[in-house]
Chain A
Amino acid sequence: MKRQYDDTFFYIAPSEPPPSRRPPIVEVGPIGWLRRNLFSSKINSLATIFTGVVILGFLYMVLSWSIRTAQWAVVYNNLRMLTSGTYDRRETWRLEVVAGALVFLTGLGLGIWARVARSVFIAVLVSLAVIIIVPIVSAYIPEPTIHILLRPSKTPPNFVFVGLAGQEVTVRLEPQTDPADVDAPLLGFVEQKSRVDWSTLARQVHDGKADLADYNMQFTLRVLDNRLRPLMTDEGPVQAVFDAENPGGTLTFTLPADDWYVLEVTRDDTSEPVGYAWLRIDNVEVFSSQEDLAQRRADRFGDPPEVDNALFAEEKAYRFEGARSFKQFLSLQLAPLFSRLAVPLLIGALLFVDGWVIGVLGKADKRVRRGALIGWALAFPFSIIVLRGFEGSRLLPLVDSGQWGGLLLTVLLTVVGITASFPIGVALALGRRSNLPVVKWTCTIFIETVRGVPLITVLFMAKLIVPFFWSALTDIDLTVRMMIGLTLFSAAYLAENVRGGLQIIPKGQIEAARALGLNPFLTTTLIVLPQALRAVIPAIVGQFISLFKDTSLVALVGLFELVGIVGLIVKGQPIYRPYQREAYIFVAIIYFVISYAMSDISRRLETSGAGSVRRL
């Protein structure tokens, strides 16, 4: 039924429009948020719970492993290898100079041309604070004990350690007379060799094959000083006897000076030893066997005493056993890493802030801007010259690129790859769209060929095949050949990304430019490329990130970049062989952090300047 309107039906708006109001506020507490986003329906709730359980379980596993079990010593004792490979130790200052210069320039550049989001600053500050605070706090966490297994058949070792004046050391003998003790969790550093014996014994006790009931060992413990004289106190020499009447006990003593000490363990051979026992030493440090640390120790404490059957409190001989507490994770794993990182990072942060402040304050000054530009233009040649040096130079002796490794090499390969492949990629993309058939087909064939083969074949080609055909290339060192290989590979992919960007530029843009009298070169560089490149920033950065990760493939060709260096570390120091996992995880974390930073920067680039404005 159609409604009927009569003359009296009309509407006229009041002459004044109503005042604008704010939109209504919808109340959403945390519960409302949860309900709306996580538990909006039965299926969604299930999905939320399922994913939540999976994520939490995974996190729990990862964290509990890395806190309780993982041995990060392979990382913190090899930071130098990881950062610069086999770069000449005496020349490390050159790396530091280059890194410092680059950090300063980065700060300067960001200060002048970019706005650094506050969240980035806060994140950096918090990380720095953590890195500084953890080692300080962990100094107050006592060292875990050291366990030495005393075997019935072997002469007990003489334990050699360094101690500080006033340090109170406790030694305990813990005979294994009780089968239940076998299962007791050990926590601390256990002599590496003995761990196996111990598990065997544990199994035997468990299976009832070994009877520890008639434990019969007699030991005399004495503490000797650097010159192997017994350590004296007011009450006489520091020593203790453990025998059948006194099977387990404690010996506590205070060290008189900063020096080397020996804990001498002698067994009374008249007794018939049948059982095993742990000698447990509290409050003595397991010291690092790193060469430079050993050197520092020798400088401070002198040479270690010469005793027979010596067992040094070196990490080479010990392994941490048992589930670590979080405190111990802090003091044993994080603190050594952070204390090694703290100073370089602090200096880096200071340089960065310096640069940044100069940049922000001098933004308007033409000289500052020009200085920054010149600095960046010179950064690369400067770095290479400083890193490589010259043959026969005294200040900068030659460090062959074969010695460059670790993160240094990874970054170098990436930077060279990116800077060289970018112009080549753009040129290839333009060439592929060229009207000249020869140019066009050359570019197309190159791009398609390179994209059609795996990177590793390109690298092997650069290593083996190219010098075979073209003998002039044999003399170019492997690192440079890898750079060329990576660059060409990356350029081909980049060309396709750029071509995608070129295709979306409307014809009208080119016509407008031509109608204004711009020649083809100006049209391309001023109108087409800026728009095309901006449109494909995500793809280009993605390409650069994969280039960064792909540099790891040069490990297969014989260069020791970040991934390859782990193999070298383990090969050179077999004690770290069981901990490759930790090393590779650390490497993965570095890759992730850098990749994430790159994609974050690209996201910021996309939305800066004209990119933030709605497009035509």
Chain B
Amino acid sequence: MAENQAEKQNAEEPIIICEEVNKWYGNFHVLKDVSLEVMPQEVVVIIGPSGSGKSTFIRCINRLEEHQEGHIIVDGIELSHDVRNIAAIRSEIGMVFQQFNLFPHLTVLDNITLAPRYVRRMPRRDAEEIALELLDRVGIPDQARKYPGQLSGGQQQRVAIARALAMQPKIMLFDEPTSALDPEMIKEVLDVMKELAETGMTMLVVTHEMGFAREVADRIVLFDEGRIVEMGTPEHFFTNPQHERTKLFLSQIL
């Protein structure tokens, strides 16, 4: 653990830089001066009350949403209106959604190999080999030929993780990956995420799973009303929160 920490401090540059990001939906100010830097291999957990802008924020990072002010720089590339940038960025960022968003008309294998084959132009056989490895890694090696509709929620979410990983991203974004799952299935998904964190993946995770945050996160960020209220290590958060809003939020959730 200590070694890992040291390595992270040595890493030269932050992989994600957000500077004074602002965003509006119409007149509604969703993100207010959000600034955050994420180092490679870091796991950042974002928590906060409903409607505070967590989803909006991480969706800005792969430009599913556009920010109107400030800068977002991912792996040295600034997110702007330049279409080529967006394609480059997206293929480096994997994203996992609360509703899984698997493609119901494709088999599990095709879901996973789709992007490598059509975006990376990987031959089908290679893509399938990688896909089967990934399925093995997320613990469902024998479901490759099924359709998403034939899997349980936990299995679907793990397929979604495998699908994102198939593009060999440098960063993974998780937007409440376990919120739509039954309690019994939450653990299987969290285990996969934990393992992923251990391999050194840079992760931004929006979640309400405090156990996961405490155990896996390098840093926790608390969002409220579109801004970052408090940020710190799990120890700091759970033993010594400073801001009134943080104390209130933690008291409600724990």
Point out residues on A near B: beta carbons under 8 Å.
506, 508-509, 511-519, 522, 526-527, 530-531, 534, 610, 613-616
**CA A20 – CA B148 in complex, angstroms?**
29
Contact indicator A508/B99 (Cβ below 8 Å): yes
In angstroms, how far is the closest chain B Cβ from the Cβ of A389? 43
Question: Which residues from A are CB-within-8-Å of B60?
Answer: none
Shortest CB-to-CB span from B127 to chain A, Å, is: 13
Q: Are B95 and A515 in contact (CB under 8 A)?
A: yes
Question: In the complex, A530→B119 CA distance in Å?
Answer: 18
Q: Are A518 and B115 in contact (CB under 8 A)?
A: yes
Instruction: State the CA gap A531–B149 with chains docked (Å).
Output: 14
Whether A517 contacts B167 in the complex (CB less than 8 A), given A531-B104, A610-B104, comes out as yes
* Residues from 121 to 168 in B contacting A, C-beta threshold 8 Å: 147-150, 160, 163-164, 167
B242 within 8 A of A: no
Give Cα A514 to B103, complex, Å. Answer: 12
Docked-complex contact B149 and A515, CB < 8 angstroms: no
Residues from chain A with a CB closer than 8 A to the CB of B32 are none
Closest 10 CB pairs of A and B: A512-B101, A517-B91, A516-B115, A508-B101, A515-B95, A517-B90, A613-B147, A614-B149, A616-B104, A517-B119
B87 and A519 form a contact (CB under 8 A) = yes
- In the assembly, what is the distance between CA of A517 and CA of B115, in Å? 7
In the complex, A163 Cα to B113 Cα: how many Å?
A: 76
User: Which residues of A have CB within 8 Å of B102?
Assistant: 512, 616
Judge whether B93 is part of the interface by a CB distance below 8 angstroms. yes
Instruction: Check if B115 sits within 8 Å of A616, measured CB to CB.
Output: no
With known contacts A509-B101, A613-B150, A615-B149, A514–B90 Cβ distance under 8 A? yes
Q: Which residues of B contact A516 (CB under 8 A)?
A: 90-91, 114-115, 119, 163-164, 167
Residues in B whose Cβ lies below 8 Å from that of A615: 104, 149
Q: Can you give 8 A-B contacts (C-beta < 8 A)?
A: A512-B101, A514-B90, A515-B64, A515-B90, A515-B94, A517-B115, A517-B167, A610-B105
Q: Is B106 an interface residue (CB 8 A)?
A: yes
Contact B148 A616 (CB under 8 A): yes
A518:B104 contact, CB within 8 angstroms: no
A512 touches B97 (CB 8 A): yes
- Tell me the minimal C-beta distance from A86 to chain B in angstroms: 47
Q: Does B202 contact A (CB under 8 A)?
A: no
Q: Is the CB of B114 within 8 A of A526?
A: yes
State which residues 21-59 of B face A: CB under 8 Å: none
Cβ of B94: which chain A residues have Cβ within 8 Å of it? 515
Closest Cβ–Cβ distance, residue A609 to chain B (whole Å):
8
Minimum distance in angstroms from A103 CB to a CB of chain B: 31
- Whole-angstrom CA separation of A21 from B114 in the bound complex: 44
Distance between Cα atoms of A594 and B53 in the complex (Å): 57
Interface size on B, residues (CB 8 A): 30
Q: How far is A427 from B96 in the complex, measured between Cα atoms in Å? A: 31
Task: Please give 14 more A-B residue pairs, beta carbons under 8 A apart, in addition to A512-B95, A515-B95, A517-B87.
Answer: A506-B99, A508-B101, A511-B97, A512-B97, A512-B103, A513-B103, A515-B94, A517-B90, A517-B167, A531-B103, A534-B105, A613-B147, A614-B150, A615-B149
Q: Please, which residues of chain A bring their CB within 8 A of the CB of B90?
A: 514-517
Which B residues are CB-close (under 8 A) to A506?
A: 99, 101
Which of chain B's residues have a CB closer than 8 A to the CB of A508? 97, 99, 101
Q: How far is the CA of A527 from the CA of B64 in the complex (A)?
A: 17
B62 at the interface (CB under 8 A from A): yes
CB proximity of A167 to chain B, nearest CB, Å = 68
Partner of B103, one of A515, A519, A522, A527: A527
Q: Separation in Å of the A9 CB from the closest CB of chain B?
A: 31
Chain B proximity of A154: nearest CB distance (Å): 79
- The smallest beta-carbon distance between A181 and chain B, in angstroms, is 76
Q: How far is the CB of A510 from chain B (nearest CB, A)?
A: 9
- By a CB distance below 8 angstroms, the chain B residues around A614 are 149-150
Collect the chain B residues with CB atoms within 8 Å of residue A517's CB: 87, 90-91, 115, 119, 167
Separation of A276 and B115 alpha carbons in the complex (Å): 92
Cβ contacts under 8 Å, A527 to chain B:
103
Nearest CB in chain A: distance from B101 CB, A: 4
- Measured between alpha carbons, how far is A522 from B118 in the docked complex, in Å? 8
Q: Is the CB of A515 within 8 A of B62?
A: yes
Which of B64, B91, B107, B163 meets A511, CB within 8 Å? Answer: B64
Q: Is the CB of B149 within 8 A of A613?
A: yes
Inter-chain contacts of B115 with A (CB < 8 A): 516-518
Q: Which residues of B contact A519 (CB under 8 A)?
A: 87
Q: CB-CB contacts of B152-195 with A at 8 A, as 1s and 0s?
A: 00000000100110010000000000000000000000000000
Is B118 in contact with A526, judged by CB distance below 8 angstroms? yes
Q: Are A531 and B105 in contact (CB under 8 A)?
A: yes
A563 to B94, CA, bound (A): 60
Q: Report the Cα distance A173→B106, complex, angstroms.
A: 81
Write the chain A residue with the least CB distance to B150: A613
A608 CB to nearest chain B CB (Å): 12
Given the complex of chains A and B, what is the CA–CA distance between A197 and B224 in angstroms? 104
Q: How far is the CA of A506 from the CA of B102 in the complex (A)?
A: 11
Which residues 57-79 of B sit at the A interface, judged by CB distance below 8 A? 62, 64
Contacts of B105 in A (CB 8 A): 530-531, 534, 610
A509 to B167, CA, bound (A): 17
The closest CB in chain A to the CB of B102 belongs to A616
Q: Which residues of A contact B87 (CB under 8 A)?
A: 517, 519
CB A435 to nearest CB in B, in angstroms, measures 14
Q: Is the CB of B147 within 8 A of A610?
A: yes
A514 to B115, CA, bound (A): 10
Question: Would A515 and B93 count as touching, CB distance under 8 A?
Answer: yes
Q: Nearest chain-B residue to A534 (Cβ)?
A: B105
